[in-house]
Structure 1
């Protein structure tokens, strides 16, 4: 399997939802609690912030989306946070631990720096130690815990706040 990372395109909507929706349905690795249609994802891609980064990882042999990662501006209501982005990472459960997240991080860090980001920030579910380990292995540091920050399926979830300076 040869992994290629490139910018997300409108036609990736279906492939992205095929990665994302099973993760949402599992209810274990994200605070997202509603699935998306391919059309909704296409609209999301079309309306993605110009200053953001949205990458997909593909199996180059069969053009299948294996995962994706995006960075959105932290806050648009002030320029004080213009250097900070919120990062999210999703990898198809069938393809985890095969270097997909690492390939995404490499490309996304490069793209984010080129767009002027100096710091990336994320919230990781406290009950998702594998995701936290992945982010830490990429140089993120834990800066705090937001207690009962999310409520998924009636259950409160703490989120670990992490950051990385680029």
Structure 2
């Protein structure tokens, strides 16, 4: 598949929620438990932090968003964490295992470094072994388990804490 990785645009909002909402609805891969409207996603993109990185993977053949990845500042209440970002990665279920995530990681790592990030941090559901394997393949390391970190529909979910020094 031929891809272009580029900065997100407001016009990508529908493509993003087309990927994200089915993942949320499945209740298996993310701790997000509420779907997003087009307006909410447009506002999220509009208000995305200046220091953030928000990349989309667009299929050149189909001209649609097939994945996205973002990095947000870890904390804004202190400058002690200015070098740390929180990363999230999402790929359309019908396009997985086509190196889309790898392409996103390559672009995101470069942009994150250029914005002063030295470390990326993520929480991955303990029961999402495919996502964990993807992150580990990109050089992330497991640094711990947050037990009962999320609670969705009355069920506790452990999260694996991972990090990568850039």
Unaligned runs of 5+ in 2: none
Match of 1:57?
Answer: 57
- Matching of residues 43-122 of structure 1 within 5 Å: 43-122=43-122
Match of 1:129?
Answer: 129
C-alpha distance in structure 1 between counterparts of 2:62 and 2:160, whole Å: 36
Following TM superposition, the consecutive aligned residue runs of length 4 or more in structure 1 with deviations greater than 6 angstroms are none
Q: TM-score, structure 1 length as denominator?
A: 0.99
C-alpha distance in structure 1 between counterparts of 2:86 and 2:104, whole Å: 15
C-alpha distance in structure 2 between counterparts of 1:137 and 1:165, whole Å: 14
Q: TM-score, structure 2 length as denominator?
A: 0.99
Equivalent residues, number: 166
Unaligned runs of 5+ in 1: none
Match of 1:148?
Answer: 148
Deviation at 1:153, TM superposition (A): 1.9
SS in 2 for 1:39: helix
The two structures, once aligned, show a CA RMSD in angstroms of: 0.5
